[in-house]
Amino acid sequence: MLHQVGIRELKDTLSAVLHRVQEGEQIEVTDNGRPIVRMVPIRPMSATERLAADGTLVLAADQDTEWPDPEPARPGEKPMSEIVIEMRADERY
């Protein structure tokens, strides 16, 4: 159940309320019994989320889209995977 705290109680016990939120509890702040804001704990951001928030990293718009299966090689041709493996081997030596 969501715990509710009035504005006056929040002013009087702010440190304790913030500690409860930090421990994972969600608290709704009310004004004359009407909910006006919900306080929820913030989960730590991953490195990817931090870089995206800073603008250093731009995520692809379709990052949840699955890639299609590669087209099969035509008869007599090498598959693209073999060509890439050969190219990489040539670069190493």
Structural domains counted in the chain? 1
Please name the residue that has the structure tokens 């928030």.
53
Residue numbers of the domain that contains 2: 1-58
Can you give the CATH number for the domain in which 50 is found? 3.40.1620.10
Mean pLDDT value across residues 5-19: 96
The answer to the question of residue 63 being in a domain is no
| Sign (positive or negative) of CA dihedral 53, 56, 60, 63 | negative
Residue 11 predicted with pLDDT over 90: yes
Q: Which residue has the higher pLDDT, 57 or 30?
A: 30
Looking at residue 37, its pLDDT comes to 96
Q: Which residue has the higher pLDDT, 1 or 43?
A: 43
Number of H helices, E strands in the chain: 4, 3
Cα separation values, 2 from 13, 26, 45, 62, Å = 17, 6, 24, 36
Contact 7, 31 (CB under 8 A): yes
pTM of the model: 0.49
Mean pLDDT value across residues 20-42: 93
Alpha-carbon span 28 to 9, nearest angstrom = 12
Contact 35, 29 (CB under 8 A): yes
In this predicted structure, which of 18-22, 33-37, 67-71 has the lowest mean pLDDT?
Answer: 67-71
- For 47-84, write each residue's pLDDT tens digit: 888 888 888 888 877 666 677 777 788 888 888 888 88
The answer to the question of residue 11 being in a domain is yes
